[in-house]
Amino acid sequence: MTRTAILGLGHYVPSKVVTNDDLAKLFDTSDEWIQQRTGIKERRYIEDSGTGPSDLAVPAVKMACENAGIDVSEVDAIIFATLSPDHDFPGSGCFLGDKLGLAGVPALDVRNQCSGFLYGLQVADAWIRCRMYKRVALVGGEVHSTGLDFSDEGRDVTVLFGDGAACAILGPSDDDDRGVIDVEVHADGSGAKELWIEGPTSANVPRITHEMIDDKTVFPAMNGRHVFRWATTKMPEVSQSVLERNGVSVEDLDLVVPHQANKRINELVTKKLGVAPEKVVHNIQKYGNTTAASIPLALSEAVQEGRAKKGDLILMPAFGSGFTWGAALVRL
Ligand code: UT7
């Protein structure tokens, strides 16, 4: 049976570094609080108006193609995972395809927030295994910084998020031992309003009102403790399920590359699973939570730094808004 391999990885973050102290000048927070509760030291924001997630994705895709040893023109399908699309419609994948000169190449947007990369991986894996496409660019890209509440009221959410993009080029593997072994994903919409943006909404007449801006329902809202509890329950549960189904023990894992939402969450999750701390990749200290981009960004960096190598067995769990969650097991 054809397996799907990660042929190459790439990432891109904007150059503007925003430290915790920078945020403490804008609203009531502190470097100490943010580092203690989340592990974040700084994040990246876009420099200028007019830079969307599809713009951040262009260099990420180019780097991934280079690392995969293919030309960008060989990409035959795009999957773009994002919760902050360039526009409500059309999808960011269409904008990206145009920017890459990929006219006619199908582009699918995935709206599954922090689990978006895993949902996209499951789709890409099925496409490749049934020989529908040969070179899928699976992208996670976010521009959060333009949609955050930089006041005391929004501080719990605003300190967490950063901008960035990353890409995995996926294709059929000629090596039976290499590739995507399993991806399991879930959703439970009963938690939808625990981490969401209420407005604008197509259910409202009219869709956008001045009150939405005045009442700040246009900013993300989160019940942090509730999300924390779910994340630290569901990420170990789904990881265990994937490991057991594939007869893999925690000791067999070379690396765990979790979604980067909170360093404390990932420490707790991997402790519950019994993973040695040195096998867990954290880069939240540099980028904050880049949502759909966070797993491929951490994996791409780990490869660049020589920490993740060909043949490594890697577990990638995620949890986020929806609620959505999942885990992937991959042999790099
Ligand atoms: O990407 C996937 C989804 N997101 C997550 O997975 C996030 C999950 N949740 C979390 O990571 C944590 O709940 C947070 C980091 C968001 C918050 O940490 P916490 O330990 O749960 O803090 P808390 O919400 O219980 O708040 C503790 C205190 C509160 O003050 P009082 O009521 O004790 O006086 C907050 O008002 O910290 C206050 N607080 C802040 N203080 C300084 C909340 N945000 C901030 C802030 N700076 N940025």
Instruction: Say if residue 139 is in the same domain as residue 200.
Output: no
Domain with residue 153: its CATH number is: 3.40.47.10
Judge whether residue 177 has pLDDT over 90: no
Residue finishing a domain among 173, 205, 232: 173
Mean pLDDT of the 136-147 span:
98
- Asked if residue 215 and residue 102 are part of one domain, the reply reads no
- Identify the CA nearest to 294 among candidates 328, 259, 263: 259
* Among protein residues, the one whose CA lies closest to atom 12 of ligand 1: 224
pLDDT value of residue 135: 98
pLDDT reading at 237 higher than 80? yes
- Tokens coding 194: 């625990």
pLDDT at 174: 81
CA distance 124 to 173: 13
Q: How confident is the model over 312-331, as pLDDT tens digits?
A: 999 999 999 999 999 999 99
Residues 256 and 325 grouped into a single domain:
yes
Domain ranges, residue 240: 179-331
CA of 212 to the centre of ligand 1 (A): 24
The answer to whether the CB of 38 is under 6 A from ligand 1 is yes
* Same domain, residue pair 109 and 187: no
Residue 38 sits in the same domain as residue 168: yes
pLDDT band at 162 (very low <50, low <70, confident <90, very high): very high
User: Is position 87 annotated as part of the catalytic site?
Assistant: no
The Å distance, Cα 282 to ligand 1 centre, comes to 20
Domain identity same for 115 and 56: yes
Count of CB atoms within 10 A of residue 251's CB? 9
Could you say which of 142, 173, 204 is where a domain stops?
173
- Contact (Cβ atoms closer than 8 angstroms) between residue 259 and residue 282: no
**185, 323: one domain:** yes
Catalytic residue check, 210: no
Atom of ligand 1 nearest to the CA of 291: 1
Judge if 189 and 306 occupy the same domain: yes
Ligand 1 near 228 CB (within 6 A):
yes
pTM for the full model? 0.97
What is the number of the ligand 1 atom nearest to the C-alpha of 289?
A: 1
Give me ligand 1 centre to Cα 257, in Å: 23
For residue 170, which of 130, 214, 211, 137 has the smallest C-alpha distance?
A: 137
Picking from 174, 259, 265, 272, the residue whose alpha carbon sits closest to that of residue 224 is: 265
Give the closest residue (by CA) to ligand 1 atom 2: 320
- Tell whether 11 and 146 lie within a shared domain: yes
**Catalytic residue status for 114:** yes
- Summarised one tens digit per residue, pLDDT across range 179-205 is 999 999 999 999 999 999 999 999 999
What pLDDT score was predicted for residue 169? 98
Tell me if residue 134 falls in helix, strand or coil. coil
The mean per-residue pLDDT over the stretch 203-210 comes to 97
Locus of tokens 């986020």: 320
Give percent above pLDDT 70 in the chain: 100
Torsion angle in degrees (nearest 10) through CA of 214, 218, 223, 229: -170
Q: What is the whole-number distance in angstroms between the Cα of residue 116 and the centre of ligand 1?
A: 24
Q: Which of 20, 114, 144, 283 is catalytic?
A: 114
The pLDDT score that the predictor gives to residue 2 is 85
Structure tokens at 251: 């000791």
Give the atom of ligand 1 at the shortest distance from the alpha carbon of 195: 3
Residue 37 Cα to ligand 1 middle (Å): 7
Count how many domains the chain has: 2
Instruction: Report the pLDDT value the prediction gives residue 176, as an integer from 0 to 100.
Output: 81
Identify the band that residue 1 occupies on the pLDDT scale cut at 50, 70 and 90.
confident
Q: Is 175's pLDDT higher than 90?
A: no
Which run of H or of E encompasses 243?
helix 224-245
Catalytic residue among 144, 259, 266, 283: 259
Three-state secondary structure call for residue 173: strand
For ligand 1, atom 3, the nearest C-alpha belongs to: 320
17: which residues sit within 8 A by CB, 6+ positions away? Answer: 42, 43, 44
Looking at residue 49, its amino acid is S
- pLDDT recorded at residue 234: 98
Q: What is the pLDDT of residues 43-94, one digit of tens each?
A: 999 999 999 999 999 999 999 999 999 999 999 999 999 999 999 999 999 9
Centroid of ligand 1 to alpha carbon of 66 (angstroms): 40
Instruction: Tell me if 39 CB under 6 Å of ligand 1.
Output: no
Report the b/e string of 84-108 with b at 16+ CB within 10 A.
bbbeeeebbbbbbbeebebeebbbb
